[in-house]
Amino acid sequence: MHVFDILLVGMLIWIAVGSLNQNRLFKSVVMLIIFGLFMAIAWIRLGSPDVALAEAAIGAGVTGALMLDAVGHLRERATPYPLGPEAAEDADE
């Protein structure tokens, strides 16, 4: 029975590493949202359905919406600033 828990925690770590080890911001953010959904499953496994609901709605939902908006903002305004080497390097797409 622990196999499922180990797999779940392994997935969590893998997604977290993937989210950080990803230079394309949009992918990072999508992985963070997926991470939130997996966290919700973990909360249910830990007997905390209350936290699972909040995590799915806030951790994945609201945080994800805020992050996607910010990434969109950076991309949208990318053109007027050709000077920022970092912006170009980390910009998505």
Q: Which residues are at the interface with another protein (CB under 8 A)? A: 1-2, 5-6, 9, 12-13, 16-17, 19-20, 25-26, 28-29, 32, 35, 39, 42-43, 45-51, 53-55, 57-59, 61-63, 65-74, 76-77, 80-81, 83-87, 90
Spell out the residues 6+ positions from residue 67 whose beta carbon is closer than 8 angstroms to its own: 29, 32, 33
Cα torsion 33, 36, 38, 40: sign = negative
Shortest reach from residue 54's CB to another protein, in Å: 5
Shortest reach from residue 31's CB to another protein, in Å: 9
Shortest reach from residue 6's CB to another protein, in Å: 6
Helix, strand counts (H, E) of the chain: 5, 0
Q: Is residue 15 within 8 Å of 35, Cβ to Cβ?
A: yes
Shortest reach from residue 87's CB to another protein, in Å: 5
User: What are 77's two structure tokens?
Assistant: 């305004």
